[in-house]
A and B are shown apart, each in its own frame.
Chain A
Amino acid sequence: MTIKGKAYIVGAYEHPLRKAPNHSVAQLHAEVAKGALEDAGLTKNDIDGYFCAGDAPGANVWSMANYMNLSKLRHVDSTDMGGCSYLVHVAHAAEAIAAGHCNVALVTLAGRPNSEGSSGTQVRDRGVNLPEAPYEMPHSPVTINLYAMAAIRHMHEYGTTSEQLAWIKVAASHHAQHNPNAMLKNVVTVEEVVNSPMISDPLHRLDCCVVSDGGGAVIVARPEIAKSLKRPKVKIIGTGESTKHQMAGQVDLTYTGAAWTGPRAFEEAGVKPGDIQYASIYDSFTITVLLQIEDLGFCKKGEGGKFVSDGNLISGQGKFPFNTDGGGLCNNHPANRGGMTKIIEAVRQLRGESHPKVQVPDCRLALAHGTGGAIGHRHGSATLIMERE
């Protein structure tokens, strides 16, 4: 069975706030759910599938289903794959719809790491009973150094430079200048990126995403319902999900799980990387973007540095417009999880509703890809290919 053409994204909403000290996390989830429902033109009682991840209070569906009083649920899923959970949720929603288990699925993400003072240099407690923890936690793995180790290895093997990585931030900043909600709206230069403070070699402060509050939601529905609504039709045509880890000690940080999820999603969709007109690429750090672009097949392994340079990722200038909302690098990264906003900007592009300065002309085929966890030890990967009908 394939999900190709079996489900559509009919609603999408991004919370406008980047700092929400007076909102509860539950309130943010409910506000984005309401926004996505209104965008779709559906009502609360139409929702019979609900998806959320570890950012939801309680880390499963109970509390938020209760708070929002979702009373018609026939299908629930609290799969947590970190920042790429929401791409997985859309794929699972499409599967559930194709199997007849639900008709209208709501997916929500929200959090307040900006108000709570979260940082990518903090050691995070990830729970009890973790088999690897005694062998890792004394060494202080934190988000940024788990990505920095991949960056240094990539530089060693392929000659990638800090200036090439900086171009990824430069491109994101060119897009963010047109987004009134973006946290970082100023266009930056390669020099400004490489001269920003070094956090963990070779990643500078401006190689990092922002820390923001907020959230987002999407609604996935079966074709008959999508056709009855007034919004442009965004059809899900290919998905892939996987997880990559330390391979029992045979660690290889030069590629991500995108090398597995990308080919599967392209095969299901029946398209090739060269067919994609717009891509949302997970951007926790600049190196994250570079590795995924290579792994998804947009360029050869090792040639990502050259590919991202000289404005190639800037919409209207380069050949590969990415993250036209400014992405996690400049716009927002709610709950420290960037997967939802990757889907939302791809939906905007396919609907022709991105900012006119960054809108890809007649965008009919888009890809969103996410990475959750950390590429330096364990991560999830998810790819979604969507088509405007």
Chain B
Amino acid sequence: MATPYQERKMRDPALNPGDEPYFEAAAEGKLLLKKCNDCGEHHHYPRALCPFCWSEKVEWVQAKGSGEIYTYTVTRRGGPVPYCIAYVTLDEGPRMMTNIVDCDLDTIKIGQRVKVTFKKTEGGASVPCFAPA
């Protein structure tokens, strides 16, 4: 038994003011994080204030794009095709919600090393997904 990854329709991100740089970078194949210049912490999803110390001195930084799977599940019913939703722990620290793609979904494991890859939404936006490293 195998459950090969299949392309699926992904919803467009409904951007709020301030989200544009993240998705512009994604379109160029780059994953961004926010880093606080006061407390030094990375966070995700990106905010205008550091969620740890509430400093406004946050800046965009490019993530390495590598990490490991914290948890996941393959949703097999309800949609047109099975898909894997997951949290990936980035090497910079934050855990982000994503999809695991481009592999046999039945082989995915907690702790597995993954690297970022970008998939297009229905309207053509790029969103970060992860595939086995």
Contacts and interface: CB of A to CB of B under 8 A. Distances in A.
A200 to B, nearest CB: 4
Given A150-B71, A153-B70, A200-B75, A139 B10 contact: yes
A186 B112 CA distance: 41
B78 A149 contact: no
Contacts of B14: 128, 130, 133-134, 137
Interface in A197-236: 197-203
Contacts of A148: 73, 75
B73 A142 contact: no
A253 interface: yes
Question: Which of A148, A150, A248 gathers most chain B CB within 10 Å?
Answer: A248
Contact of B110 (A121, A133, A156, A246): A156
B51 interface: yes
Contacts of A249: 42-45, 93-96
Interface of A: 119-123, 128-142, 144-145, 148-153, 156, 197-203, 246, 248-251, 253, 377
Given A156-B110, A199-B75, A200-B75, A138 B43 contact: no
Interface of B: 10-16, 19, 22-23, 41-47, 51-52, 70-79, 83, 85-87, 93-99, 110, 121, 125, 127, 129
A14 B12 CA distance: 41
B95 A121 contact: no
Nearest to A134: B13
B73 A145 contact: yes
Contacts of B94: 248-250
Given A131-B47, A249-B42, A249-B43, A152 B72 contact: yes
A77 to B, nearest CB: 28
A149 B44 contact: no
A199 B78 contact: yes
B99 A139 contact: yes
B127 A153 contact: no
B16 A134 contact: yes
B16 A200 contact: no
Contacts of B96: 135, 249
Contacts of B42: 249
A212 B64 CA distance: 46
Q: Which 6 A-B pairs have the closest CB atoms?
A: A121-B78, A249-B94, A134-B13, A248-B51, A148-B73, A135-B45
Nearest to A197: B77
B43 A201 contact: no
B13 A152 contact: no
B95 A140 contact: no
A134 to B, nearest CB: 3
Contact of B13 (A133, A140, A201): A133
6 contacts: A130-B14, A134-B14, A140-B11, A145-B73, A200-B75, A250-B94
